Structure 1
């Protein structure tokens, strides 16, 4: 699920190169993320049931904080940040793709399925904070119990995601805090061929998606259409922001989520035991997707809404920073936006 238009070893490993502008912070970077303040809007609900609680009605204004991620994206389009983005070299769509993405988000807000999932995510954040006693897993404290490989074959590009807040997939949505969006790019940094108006124009379309580790399939959903539109447009008819997806339990508190799979491609069933590297589906364009891509994250619960995202490291990865960066092999890597990544060592 893209946090922005699709147009995340030691932490010192595999970082994208810095620049003179890379440490500059925008105004938005300096403001604490207020998205979760939208939960205070729930206090207003009794006022709509009984006049006895009319004094709670002003709390309804707190729901506006739920629009903060939308507002930050809008500011980013209207007033480009001076800070250099590690994904600037990736060409996803034309110059209007981000605008189309934002415009399609407006009518999408009346989609009841999307609205319900948004509320469930916000309420799920409360469960996460309570369950972790406000001490959330982070890259320094979390120790994974499973060795994860990249859930793809061949070279892909990290278009969204990082362990740091600035380039996080969705920092305020705790389940997706350490999520990644993956695409494929060509030698010029484009994610598509032709004019990019059809899902099949995109390099990652229908490419294999594999299990990142052995485990048990605990959820598998297929039958969600792939959006017929690309170039930044979101599917206004989506029923689930994940589209077609698979959830795999690898350990008691480690579940991987692989989303936006191609309709009809899900190759595993709930309850099935699968091996690491086994094909579970094909990359698609279903759900909350601006262009074909794979969404991947690991969380500590089966529930998509009440799980906390986990900052996992990947084993046996070939990493290159940017479009022309030299590829290096690492036994355990943290991924970052703007990197080109491949499972296994490349033999040239």
Structure 2
């Protein structure tokens, strides 16, 4: 059977990837930072034999040699999906908290695979629209061709550090393949804001992925007086992101390519209106129907055709994403 290593197995996207890997018949080993998280994932896949699903512990992805043991396997791995990377706004030290873990985690696993897992054919890396967006220029069309031009100096500003970490980590991966000429190729998955149902056994209302926090706030009535600024006007459903990772190892043409994974545009006002349609019980917590939208009239265009043509992704509708996200949060007490 084909065997896959998935890093950061307890993350929001990765937890959905586990389900799709198993559905598609892959033997799956995931990394976690603790036994507790590893056991929790296994317990929620009862009846799955250990040769189909198991875990290894990697405590700190930024440490030298962090993945050296994780990539060794008998039978050996065929593919690696690397999703482990920090994303939070509690930044004390930009280099230590964000840049090092993102960059060293990515180059570290590539080095480990080259040295200890010669059977690996492809590594799929979770990057981000953060590595594409260019706030310095008036970009008319966003696609995989565009790169964020952020500099190391700009990354020291806390407001830039997340985008910089994703940009530098992805560039480091492409540079590694070009210079080191390993036996594997890479593909990157570049989603914007990732919405969608949480994995209830791993997530609490206090530990939501950052993108989904706006749904919790809406359910709790925090949009009633004023709809907050949308920020990034692009979204994608987590289940489509997860499928894109798996398709990127199944489709040979995916090698050597970036994939801009987005379902399209949205605004926080549109979340409100979708919630009004799908969850009428929230009406008393929602703002008036004539509340203004902040969606800009002159927004850029997007080209996500590569994800559809090569990976075969058929994106979920915005209404489905909103409905399922709200329902999953209600299930854990929102």
Shorter-chain TM range is: under 0.3
Q: TM-score, normalised by structure 1?
A: 0.27
The answer to which structure has the higher helix fraction is: 2
Q: TM-score, normalised by structure 2?
A: 0.28
Higher RCO by CA contacts (8 Å cutoff, separation 6 or greater): 1
